[in-house]
Amino acid sequence: MKIMVAVKRVVDYAVKIRVKPDKTGVETTNVKMSMNPFCEIALEEALRIRESGLAKEVVAVSVGPAQCTDTLRTALAMGADRAVHVEAGMAHVQPLSVAKILRALVQAEQPGLLILGKQAIDDDCNQTGQMVAGLLQWPQGTFASKVVLDKEKQKATVEREVDGGIETICLDLPAVITTDLRLNQPRYATLPNIMKAKSKVIKKVTPEELNVELRPDIEIIQVAEPPKRKAGVILPSVDELIDKLKNEARVL
Ligand code: AMP
């Protein structure tokens, strides 16, 4: 079985986000970019499945500008066998377009499993996995915190984190899985593997070659920073604190 993993290049999770002065989005110039953390978890899960002998090949895919090859090199250094870069001129390709691209790649590559992050930390959409499952008419296990494959029965058992507990579902393969935080702890790429990944070939395709038109379906009207926190006050006594909580904040 082949596993395809979608890895997105996003602003690094440790960077303090700044909104552009014209409020059209967040600043990405001279900002550290990395693989989306949920995509690292998706890739780690695919690698573990391959290492357990249940899959033969892991293919990493990224959609976006030329710099996505850095993200794909990281994927190759972590252990992916192959990488495909879908070259999109625009920096931000919306979830429905990414889902259509992934559908076209799945139809060409025929993987038994497509694993995505549950959400990208830049747009927080949490849409792509669900959309591609809908387009492919494949079963989906979203927010996975545990995945167990049964190769003979061609089924995947997925534990999902839901409000108030864990839901366990069984999916027929091929299927789409999206990863939650507690699924695994992604590995670091070792230096020898980083060096080896430099010489691996990253296949390039365009959306046109996949017959997908990159059409924005959502118009972003404005991106604004959250309101600044007001300065606090130091009160001289507990009585005054209780008075303020009762009469100003009205929380008592
Ligand atoms: P989103 O629906 O934007 O929150 O993204 C959810 C997941 O879809 C991500 O964690 C990735 O696995 C995948 N994805 C979204 N956009 C891209 C992209 N441009 N390239 C590769 N994978 C993507």
Report the nearest-CA residue for atom 16 of ligand 1. 8
For residue 34, the model assigns a pLDDT of: 96
- Mutation to probe ligand 1, out of 69, 116, 118, 178 (largest number of atoms < 8 A from CB): 116
pLDDT, one tens digit per residue, over 31-47 is 999 999 999 999 999 99
Does any ligand 1 atom lie closer than 6 A to the CB of residue 36?
Answer: yes
CA distance 128 to 137: 14
Measured distance CA(191)–CA(189) in Å, rounded: 7
pLDDT at 230: 85
End-to-end CA distance of the chain: 60
- Distance (Å) of CA 116 to CA 15, 20, 75, 155: 23, 28, 13, 18
7 and 70 Cβ atoms separated by less than 8 Å:
no
Give the DSSP letter of residue 32. Answer: -
Distance of CA 212 to the CA centre of its chain: 21
Q: What does the block give as tokens for 99?
A: 């889902």
Handedness of CA 167, 54, 37, 69 (dihedral sign): negative
95 Cβ below 6 A of ligand 1: yes
* Average pLDDT estimate for 191-202: 94
pLDDT in tens, 129-146: 999 999 999 999 999 999
Q: Is the pLDDT confidence value at 118 over 80? A: yes
The region of weakest confidence among 107-111, 160-164, 183-187, 192-196 is 160-164
pLDDT tens figures, 51-69: 999 999 999 999 999 999 9
pLDDT beyond 80 at 91: no
Alpha-carbon distance 206 to 63, whole Å?
A: 9
User: What pLDDT shows up at residue 225?
Assistant: 86
User: 137: phi > 0 → left, psi -120 to 50 → alpha, else beta; which?
Assistant: left
Banded pLDDT at 164 (limits 50, 70, 90)? confident
Q: Distance, CA 7 to ligand 1 centroid (Å)?
A: 7
Please indicate whether residue 98, judged by its CB atom, sits closer than 6 Å to ligand 1.
Answer: yes
The two three-digit tokens of residue 235, written as one number: 């009160």
Average pLDDT over residues 211-217: 90
Q: Is 172 helix (H, G, I), strand (E, B) or coil?
A: strand
Residue 217 has pLDDT above 90, yes or no: no
